[in-house]
Amino acid sequence: MVTFATRNAKNMSVVTQIKEAAVKAISHLYGINLQTQDIQVNATKPEFEGDYTVVLFAFVKQLKKSPDALGKELGDTLLAQNPALFTSYNLIKGFLNLCISDSYWLHFVEREYTNTGFGNSKSNGQRVMVEYSSPNTNKPLHLGHLRNNFLGRSIAEILKANGYEVSKTCIVNDRGIHICKSMVAWQLFANGAIPADTNTKGDHFVGDYYVKFNNEYKKQVAELIAAGKSTEEAEKEAPVMKAAQQMLFDWEAGKPEVIALWQLMNSWVYAGFDATYQRIGSDFDKTYYESKTYLLGKDLVESGLAKGVFFQKADGSVWIDLTADGLDEKLVRRKDGTSVYITQDIGLAEQKQKEFNAGQSIYVVGDEQNYHFKVLKLICQKLGLPSADGIFHLSYGMVELPTGKMKSREGTVVDADDLVEEMVAIAKQKTEELGKVKDFTEEELTDLYDILGLGALKFFLLRVDPKKKMVFNPEESIDFHGFTGPFIQYTHARIKSILRKSGMAQPPANNNLPKANLLPLEKELSIQLEMFPAILQDAAIEHDPSKVAIYAFNLARIFNSFYAGHSIGNAENEEKKILRLQLSQLTARVIKNGMNVLGIRVPERM
């Protein structure tokens, strides 16, 4: 338990300081000891005077005081006990509006404007694992995968900024019937062609054969039905489907030519994925392959049976009864002795525990698997795996089109590579229209288009609460104005330009801190900047990058108002000029650090 006295007030947010001051004041006044969580502090509404507001209703009953009497006593005591923090208060209908002293904000800016790591926490020694991306090797990545990749990468960076040691992992689904379908189609239709022959990325190349398989399958089913078969029979007997099933059987038997083809086609896919990952900034400390992990967990079924966690049915199949937890019975081993999907996940959870020993293991997986992960965690807990309580499913909603869900069979899937290139092309077009960077080299321009195009795309997908499904409209594409990545990137470039023109490598320290004369826009910007560390913490606790995205947008918006309202380089006097340059530099830094945890770069010029 850290006490107020031993904590460094400099590193504590204003809101926390207000809460602690209120706890202390209430204890002093009424002899009642509250926790900081009991104190509700909000930003003061703009129409009232003040910066932060303590909501009094919560204590009115407990302290048996009228809101007015309580507010007056609390307000007076807060001011008396914290003369450096508060300058005045006013009381409106149970809301205690507090004015924070300008010198508090001035000292904050003075202290932090050169701190390149502002917002980051020191190492806390805790280890976290983030599993994300997790593609199938039968088709290329699409828009939904992009949301997954950006979320995974971002949550890893957010946790790092909060002092965690983070390992990123990926599990590649490189085996199973879907891969066999691509293999069968390739044998039937490719005439030995390889990706290089058609100038196609390997993942797209293999994906094309997956589509060809499905087309052929549909054709064969239709023919069989026309020949008098029932739909069910036709689907079962279609020659390509039988071939795919035989392929899977041969794969599991280790038939050399099947393994060789499988390895060859997967190698094409990996080359394609690597290119995409490099482009979008995904990387992994360790990649697992299902072909190597799919047999994991079998020993855990045995030990679970011995412990009585699992039970065996008459046919030999093994189950767990989760009805007491409000779920159903769940199969963990088939009657033929083979594993099911969840068995390998249990085994992999154990293996990850052994390899990484992380206190928290985050799985970035779509919300259609909510039930699966609820079951997985429960089973691991019942088996007593040490990692069980640390399992966290970072569940995210589907990306939908205005017409509904994306369906690969109907060709309505938005391809990841295509979308990235489209965004970069739009960035190029808009940049050329504005004509502000005509002196850039070819290389600098290419880099700028990447920064902007990918920034727009990432921000679009990260600005929404992960839990919620979201809509992407390909007709409207993604905007570069308003609540967007480029808007924030633009603000950064704008600040950098101002700083360059100030003629100083860095604003000097302000020896003459002006007292109590912050203008409203200067103060609003200071308050917003001060929140950044708390926002980063909140984003980590909630596993929610959108908190950072929304914050960064609001910061940029406030800066732009500040910029429009006040001259920075030609301020009224030297103190103001220094202060505004410091504010500008700190804003640029916070934008950069905030965007960085979203995986978005910011340009010096645009």
Partner RNA sequence: GGACCGGUAGCUCAGUUGGAUAGAGCAGCUGCCUUCUAAGCAGCAGGUCAUUGGUUCGAAUCCAAUCCGGUUCACCA
CB closer to RNA, 418 vs 538: 538
Looking at residues 286 to 305 of the shown chain, list those that interact with RNA (rule: CB under 7 A): 290, 294
Residue of 468, 508, 509, 517 that binds RNA (CB under 7 A):
468
Residue of 412, 567, 572, 574 that binds RNA (CB under 7 A):
567
Looking at residues 12 to 41 of the shown chain, list those that interact with RNA (rule: CB under 7 A): 37, 40
- H helix runs in 281-340, sequence order: 290-293, 298-307
The least CB distance from residue 194 to RNA, in Å, is 26
CA dist 401 and 177 (Å) reads 28
The token pair that represents 58 in the structure block: 């919560």
Contact 2, 20 (CB under 8 A): no
The least CB distance from residue 216 to RNA, in Å, is 20
92 three-class SS: strand
CB closer to RNA, 72 vs 605: 605
CA dist 367 and 103 (Å) reads 48
Residue of 7, 292, 436, 515 that binds RNA (CB under 7 A):
436
CB closer to RNA, 53 vs 360: 53
CB closer to RNA, 175 vs 352: 175
Looking at residues 99 to 138 of the shown chain, list those that interact with RNA (rule: CB under 7 A): none
Using alpha carbons, select from 4, 92, 12 the residue that is nearest to residue 48.
92
Looking at residues 518 to 557 of the shown chain, list those that interact with RNA (rule: CB under 7 A): 546-547, 550, 553, 557
CA dist 511 and 509 (Å) reads 6
Using alpha carbons, select from 359, 365, 367, 327 the residue that is nearest to residue 345.
365
577 three-class SS: helix
User: Which region, judged by CB under 7 A, interacts with RNA, from 3-11, 75-83, 348-356, 397-405?
Assistant: 397-405
CB closer to RNA, 358 vs 580: 580
Residue of 127, 286, 298, 467 that binds RNA (CB under 7 A):
467
The least CB distance from residue 74 to RNA, in Å, is 14
CA dist 61 and 63 (Å) reads 6
Strands 165-172 and 127-131: parallel
Residue of 219, 313, 409, 515 that binds RNA (CB under 7 A):
313
The least CB distance from residue 557 to RNA, in Å, is 5
Residue 566 near RNA by CB under 7 A: yes
Strands 165-172 and 286-289: parallel
The least CB distance from residue 330 to RNA, in Å, is 7
Residue of 26, 454, 457, 464 that binds RNA (CB under 7 A):
464
Binding to RNA by CB under 7 A, coded x per residue (else -) over 483-522, reads: xx-xx--x--xx-xxx--x---------------------
The least CB distance from residue 559 to RNA, in Å, is 8
Residue 475 near RNA by CB under 7 A: no
Residue 452 near RNA by CB under 7 A: yes
The least CB distance from residue 488 to RNA, in Å, is 9
Residue of 480, 529, 591, 599 that binds RNA (CB under 7 A):
480
525 three-class SS: helix
Residue 572 near RNA by CB under 7 A: no
CB closer to RNA, 111 vs 292: 292
CA dist 39 and 42 (Å) reads 10
Contact 45, 55 (CB under 8 A): no
Residue of 295, 470, 513, 534 that binds RNA (CB under 7 A):
470
The token pair that represents 324 in the structure block: 């007491």
CB closer to RNA, 199 vs 441: 441
360 three-class SS: strand
Q: What is the C-alpha radius of gyration for the chain, rounded to an integer number of angstroms?
A: 29
Contacts 24+ apart (CB under 8 A), 6-9: none
CB closer to RNA, 176 vs 281: 176
Q: Give the torsion sign (CA, 442, 443, 448, 453).
A: positive
Residue 364 near RNA by CB under 7 A: no
The least CB distance from residue 186 to RNA, in Å, is 20
Beta-carbon count within 10 A of 541 CB: 11
User: Which region, judged by CB under 7 A, interacts with RNA, from 160-168, 189-197, 272-280, 424-432?
Assistant: 424-432
Q: How many residues bind RNA (CB under 7 A)?
A: 94
CB closer to RNA, 55 vs 225: 55
CB-neighbour burial class of residue 256 (10 A; exposed 0-12, middle 13-18, buried 19+): exposed
Residue 245 near RNA by CB under 7 A: no
The least CB distance from residue 393 to RNA, in Å, is 11
Looking at residues 318 to 347 of the shown chain, list those that interact with RNA (rule: CB under 7 A): 326, 328, 331, 334-336, 340-342
CA dist 320 and 475 (Å) reads 48
Looking at residues 162 to 221 of the shown chain, list those that interact with RNA (rule: CB under 7 A): 173, 175-177
The least CB distance from residue 341 to RNA, in Å, is 3
Query: Degrees (nearest 5) of the Cα angle 590, 488, 596?
Result: 50
Residue 97 near RNA by CB under 7 A: yes
Using alpha carbons, select from 8, 5, 145, 3 the residue that is nearest to residue 533.
8
The least CB distance from residue 226 to RNA, in Å, is 26
With helix as H, strand as E and coil as C, how does 173-242 read? ECCCHHHHHHHHHHHHHCCCCCHHHHCCCHHHHHHHHHHHHHHHHHHHHHHHHHCCCCHHHHHHHCHHHH
Residue of 17, 53, 182, 282 that binds RNA (CB under 7 A):
53
Using alpha carbons, select from 153, 140, 173, 181 the residue that is nearest to residue 274.
140
